[in-house]
């Protein structure tokens, strides 16, 4: 849920495990990452089932209905939070803030932190084309998980999940344009703290029409981050965001005091 509390899914987690053993150890790891234990584990299984999997297994339900529900639950949770947190902001401002929080990029980045891509059930074709790394598929799965959580436990646990998972985005939305420019923030941080410049490395994979990038950033061997995305720029931004969060966590613990 929060950046520091949920553990990522284990590296060997795969869709087949989740699909064949929805109440076993893999599901337990998924729930630990989400910070929520499902009363009905089948809902979680459905939340991770992409429609491409259903094309090969017609008896299985896809996550599209849960995604539809989760989108509304997500929007309501964020709307209520913004309405309460910023009582002096007009409707137009609140709408822009919500849009900066609730979008495919932020949801996919959140899903990456949770390790959702590893738990997806995909069809063979989608698997071969790198579906586990696609921003749209991961963000849709996040919304489906929110919908599943709402059906399983009601609005409160779903709301808590949303607000903890997107807490940084909510905070930054109130700071105005530029708050999400993590590369600039990291560059300023590196210069201020160590007189250093962040160094980025980017690797691309996949066909030309569906390229996927993994970026890493290092600051003088003291701070690092990794990010993924459909473009070099987005992957670098996510890597910088992770490095900034890492710095914040270390500063809070007193390591950089």
Q: Express each pLDDT in 91-120 by its tens digit.
A: 999 999 999 899 998 899 899 888 898 899
Q: Which residues of 169-181 are buried (b: 16+ CB within 10 A; e: fewer)?
A: bbebbeeeeeebe
Query: At 40, phi and psi to the nearest 5?
Result: -120, 90
Query: Which range among 45-54, 94-103, 177-186, 198-207 shows the weakest confidence by mean pLDDT?
Result: 177-186
The answer as to whether 8 is a domain residue is no
CA distance 42 to 30: 13
Q: What percent of the chain has pLDDT over 90?
A: 51
Residue 226 lies in a domain: yes
pLDDT above 50 for 73: yes
Q: What is the mean pLDDT of residues 159-188?
A: 83
Which pair of tokens denotes residue 27?
A: 């599901």
CA dist., res. 32 & res. 69, Å (int): 23
- The listed range with the strongest mean pLDDT (22-26, 80-84, 210-214, 250-254) is 80-84
14 versus 204: which is more confidently predicted?
204
Of the candidates 173, 197, 227, which is a domain's last residue? Answer: 173
- Asked if residues 1 and 164 have their Cβ atoms less than 8 Å apart, the reply is yes
Q: Are residues 134 and 84 in the same domain?
A: yes
Q: Does residue 26 belong to any structural domain of this protein? A: yes
Is the pLDDT score of 248 beyond 90?
Answer: no
Residue 225 belongs to a domain? yes
Name the percent of the chain lying above pLDDT 70. Answer: 85
Domain that holds residue 243: 182-253
Active site residues: 71, 143
Q: What is the pLDDT of residue 16?
A: 38
Please determine, for residue 175, whether its predicted confidence score (pLDDT) is greater than 80. Answer: no
pLDDT number for residue 4? 35
User: What phi, psi does 199 have (nearest 5°)?
Assistant: -115, 125
Beta carbons of 61 and 84 less than 8 angstroms apart:
no
**6 domain-assigned:** no
Return the minimum-mean-pLDDT range out of 2-11, 98-107, 241-250. 2-11
pLDDT of residue 2: 37
Tokens found for residue 93: 């401002």
- 144 shares its domain with 23: yes
Does residue 123 lie in a domain region? Answer: yes
Residue range 143-172: mean pLDDT, rounded: 94
Dist CA 181 CA 195 (whole Å): 20
Q: Count how many domains the chain has.
A: 2
Mean pLDDT to the nearest integer, 65-87: 97
Q: Is residue 10 part of a domain?
A: no
User: What does the mean pLDDT of the chain come to?
Assistant: 84
Statement to judge: residues 94 and 21 lie in one domain: yes
3-state secondary structure the chain: CCCCCCCCCCCCCCHHHHHHCCCCHHHHHHHHHHCCCCCCHHHHHHHCECHHHHHHCCCCCCCHHHHHHHHHHHHHHHHHHHHHHCCCCCHHHHHHHHHHHCCHHHHHHHHHHHCHHHHCECCHHHHHCCHHHCHHHHHHHHHHHHHHHHHHHCHHHHHHHHHHHCHHHHHHHCCCCCCCCHHHHHHHHHHHHHCCCCEEEEEEECCHHHCEEEEEEEECCCEEEEEEECCHHHHHHHHHHHHHHHHHHHHHHCCCC
């Amino acid at each position: 849920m929060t950046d520091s509390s949920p553990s990522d899914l284990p590296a060997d987690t795969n869709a087949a495990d989740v699909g064949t053993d929805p109440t076993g150890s893999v599901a337990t790891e998924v729930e630990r990452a989400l910070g929520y234990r499902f009363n009905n584990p089948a809902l979680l299984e459905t939340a991770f089932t992409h429609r491409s999997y259903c094309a090969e297994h017609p008896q299985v339900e896809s996550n599209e209905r849960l995604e539809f529900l989760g989108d509304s639950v997500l929007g309501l949770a964020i709307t209520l939070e913004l309405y309460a947190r910023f009582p002096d902001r007009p409707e137009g401002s609140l709408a822009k803030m919500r849009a900066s929080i609730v979008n495919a990029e932020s949801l996919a980045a959140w899903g990456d932190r949770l390790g959702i891509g590893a738990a997806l059930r995909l069809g063979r074709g989608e698997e071969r084309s790198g579906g586990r790394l696609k921003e749209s598929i991961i963000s849709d799965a996040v919304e489906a998980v929110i919908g599943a959580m709402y059906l399983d436990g009601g609005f409160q646990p779903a709301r808590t999940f949303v607000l903890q998972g997107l807490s940084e985005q909510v905070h930054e939305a109130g700071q105005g344009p530029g708050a999400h420019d993590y590369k600039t923030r990291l560059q300023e941080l590196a210069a201020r703290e160590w007189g250093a410049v962040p160094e980025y490395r980017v690797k691309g994979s996949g066909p030309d029409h569906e390229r996927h990038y993994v970026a890493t950033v290092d600051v003088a061997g003291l701070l690092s981050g990794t990010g993924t995305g459909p473009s070099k720029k987005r992957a670098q931004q996510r890597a910088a965001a992770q490095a900034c969060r890492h710095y914040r966590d270390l500063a809070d613990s007193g390591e950089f005091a």
